[in-house]
Protein backbone atom coordinates (compact mmCIF):
# COMPACT_ATOMS: atom_id res chain seq x y z
CA UNK A 1 0.00 0.00 0.00
CA UNK A 2 1.04 3.65 -0.24
CA UNK A 3 0.86 6.24 2.54
CA UNK A 4 1.17 9.90 1.57
CA UNK A 5 1.15 13.46 2.86
CA UNK A 6 1.83 16.87 1.31
CA UNK A 7 4.30 18.91 3.35
CA UNK A 8 4.59 22.69 3.07
CA UNK A 9 5.54 23.57 6.62
CA UNK A 10 8.62 21.53 7.22
CA UNK A 11 12.25 21.91 6.12
CA UNK A 12 14.30 19.79 3.74
CA UNK A 13 16.59 18.92 6.64
CA UNK A 14 13.66 17.44 8.53
CA UNK A 15 12.47 15.52 5.48
CA UNK A 16 15.97 14.13 4.90
CA UNK A 17 15.83 12.79 8.45
CA UNK A 18 12.34 11.38 7.88
CA UNK A 19 13.62 9.46 4.83
CA UNK A 20 16.06 7.53 7.00
CA UNK A 21 13.36 6.81 9.59
CA UNK A 22 10.91 5.55 6.96
CA UNK A 23 13.53 3.25 5.44
CA UNK A 24 14.89 1.93 8.73
CA UNK A 25 11.45 1.27 10.22
CA UNK A 26 10.26 -1.04 7.52
CA UNK A 27 8.90 0.81 4.48
CA UNK A 28 9.56 -1.00 1.24
CA UNK A 29 10.46 2.33 -0.27
CA UNK A 30 10.01 6.05 0.35
CA UNK A 31 10.26 9.01 -1.99
CA UNK A 32 9.67 12.76 -2.32
CA UNK A 33 7.86 14.41 -5.23
CA UNK A 34 8.21 18.19 -5.74
CA UNK A 35 4.78 19.82 -5.89
CA UNK A 36 3.41 23.35 -5.91
CA UNK A 37 0.71 24.25 -3.41
CA UNK A 38 -1.58 27.23 -2.79
CA UNK A 39 -0.24 30.65 -1.76
CA UNK A 40 2.90 30.24 -3.88
CA UNK A 41 4.22 27.49 -1.64
CA UNK A 42 6.82 25.12 -3.01
CA UNK A 43 6.26 21.80 -1.26
CA UNK A 44 6.96 18.07 -1.32
CA UNK A 45 4.66 15.07 -1.39
CA UNK A 46 6.10 12.32 0.83
CA UNK A 47 5.18 8.75 -0.15
CA UNK A 48 5.99 5.53 1.65
CA UNK A 49 5.27 2.14 0.13
CA UNK A 50 4.75 -0.54 2.75
CA UNK A 51 3.13 -3.81 3.69
CA UNK A 52 -0.50 -3.28 4.74
CA UNK A 53 0.44 -4.97 8.01
CA UNK A 54 2.70 -1.99 8.75
CA UNK A 55 0.07 0.66 8.07
CA UNK A 56 -0.28 1.68 11.71
CA UNK A 57 3.48 1.80 12.31
CA UNK A 58 4.27 3.87 9.23
CA UNK A 59 1.31 6.17 9.84
CA UNK A 60 2.70 6.97 13.26
CA UNK A 61 6.10 7.81 11.77
CA UNK A 62 4.37 10.33 9.49
CA UNK A 63 2.41 11.84 12.37
CA UNK A 64 5.40 11.99 14.71
CA UNK A 65 8.15 13.06 12.29
CA UNK A 66 6.28 15.37 9.96
CA UNK A 67 4.05 18.37 10.45
CA UNK A 68 1.09 16.81 8.67
CA UNK A 69 -2.25 16.49 10.44
CA UNK A 70 -3.27 13.45 8.45
CA UNK A 71 -2.16 10.86 5.90
CA UNK A 72 -3.82 9.40 2.81
CA UNK A 73 -3.81 5.67 1.95
CA UNK A 74 -4.08 3.78 -1.27
CA UNK A 75 -4.13 0.07 -1.76
CA UNK A 76 -1.98 -0.95 -4.69
CA UNK A 77 -2.06 -4.21 -6.57
CA UNK A 78 1.26 -5.39 -7.88
CA UNK A 79 2.87 -7.74 -10.35
CA UNK A 80 6.26 -8.89 -9.10
CA UNK A 81 8.94 -10.74 -11.04
CA UNK A 82 10.29 -13.97 -9.55
CA UNK A 83 13.68 -13.35 -7.95
CA UNK A 84 16.63 -15.64 -7.58
CA UNK A 85 20.04 -14.80 -6.14
CA UNK A 86 23.41 -15.83 -7.52
CA UNK A 87 26.91 -14.37 -7.45
CA UNK A 88 30.08 -13.90 -9.49
CA UNK A 89 33.68 -13.72 -8.48
CA UNK A 90 35.61 -10.72 -9.71
CA UNK A 91 39.22 -9.80 -9.16
CA UNK A 92 38.04 -7.45 -6.41
CA UNK A 93 35.73 -9.84 -4.58
CA UNK A 94 32.38 -11.59 -4.82
CA UNK A 95 29.31 -9.68 -6.07
CA UNK A 96 25.74 -10.84 -5.60
CA UNK A 97 23.55 -11.01 -8.70
CA UNK A 98 19.79 -10.65 -8.60
CA UNK A 99 18.07 -12.59 -11.38
CA UNK A 100 14.46 -11.70 -12.12
CA UNK A 101 12.08 -13.57 -14.41
CA UNK A 102 8.51 -13.17 -15.61
CA UNK A 103 7.34 -15.55 -18.33
CA UNK A 104 9.93 -15.21 -21.13
CA UNK A 105 11.44 -11.99 -19.71
CA UNK A 106 14.73 -12.37 -17.88
CA UNK A 107 16.91 -9.65 -16.31
CA UNK A 108 19.81 -9.65 -13.95
CA UNK A 109 21.38 -6.89 -11.89
CA UNK A 110 24.43 -6.80 -9.61
CA UNK A 111 23.79 -5.97 -5.94
CA UNK A 112 24.30 -2.26 -5.41
CA UNK A 113 25.95 -2.56 -2.01
CA UNK A 114 28.58 -5.04 -3.17
CA UNK A 115 29.41 -2.82 -6.14
CA UNK A 116 29.59 0.32 -4.02
CA UNK A 117 32.02 -1.38 -1.65
CA UNK A 118 34.31 -2.37 -4.53
CA UNK A 119 34.04 1.08 -6.09
CA UNK A 120 35.06 2.74 -2.84
CA UNK A 121 37.93 0.40 -2.04
CA UNK A 122 39.41 0.58 -5.52
CA UNK A 123 38.75 4.18 -6.56
CA UNK A 124 36.56 3.04 -9.42
CA UNK A 125 33.34 4.55 -10.67
CA UNK A 126 30.18 2.51 -10.18
CA UNK A 127 29.89 2.21 -13.95
CA UNK A 128 33.34 0.61 -14.12
CA UNK A 129 32.40 -1.90 -11.43
CA UNK A 130 29.11 -2.78 -13.12
CA UNK A 131 31.02 -3.30 -16.37
CA UNK A 132 33.48 -5.61 -14.69
CA UNK A 133 30.78 -7.62 -12.97
CA UNK A 134 28.82 -7.85 -16.16
CA UNK A 135 31.82 -9.17 -18.10
CA UNK A 136 32.46 -11.80 -15.48
CA UNK A 137 28.80 -12.78 -15.38
CA UNK A 138 28.55 -13.11 -19.15
CA UNK A 139 31.57 -15.39 -19.23
CA UNK A 140 30.48 -17.77 -16.53
CA UNK A 141 26.74 -17.92 -16.61
CA UNK A 142 25.37 -21.34 -17.26
CA UNK A 143 22.31 -20.33 -15.47
CA UNK A 144 19.22 -22.39 -16.05
CA UNK A 145 16.75 -20.11 -14.38
Tell me the number of residues near Ni ion by CB under 5 A: 2
- Site residues (CB under 8 A) for its own copies, limited to 105-134: 105, 107, 109, 112, 116, 119, 125-127, 131, 134
Nearest to 57 by CA among 29, 10, 22: 22
Instruction: Choose from its own copies, Ni ion, none: what does 136 bind? Cβ within 5-8 Å by kind.
Output: none
Choice between 9 and 56, CB closer to Ni ion: 9
Nearest to 50 by CA among 40, 60, 42: 60
Instruction: Choose from Ni ion, its own copies, none: what does 86 bind? Cβ within 5-8 Å by kind.
Output: Ni ion
- Sequence-separated (6 or more) residues with CB below 8 Å from residue 90: 118, 132, 133, 136
Q: How far is the CB of 94 from its own copies (least distance, A)?
A: 19
Choice between 37 and 60, CB closer to Ni ion: 37
HSE of 97, CA atoms in CB hemisphere, 13 A: 24
- Site residues (CB under 5 A) for Ni ion, limited to 74-93: 86
> Which of 53, 91, 138, 142 lies at the binding interface for its own copies (CB under 8 A)?
138
Q: For residue 59, what is the DSSP state?
A: H
Phi, psi of 80 (to 5 degrees): -120, 135
Binding residues for Ni ion, per CB under 5 A? 9, 86
Amino acid sequence: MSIEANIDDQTGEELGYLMKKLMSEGSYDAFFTPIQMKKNRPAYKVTALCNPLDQEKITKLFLKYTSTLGVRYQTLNRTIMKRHFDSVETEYGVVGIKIATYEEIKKYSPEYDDCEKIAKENQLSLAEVYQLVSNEWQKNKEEVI
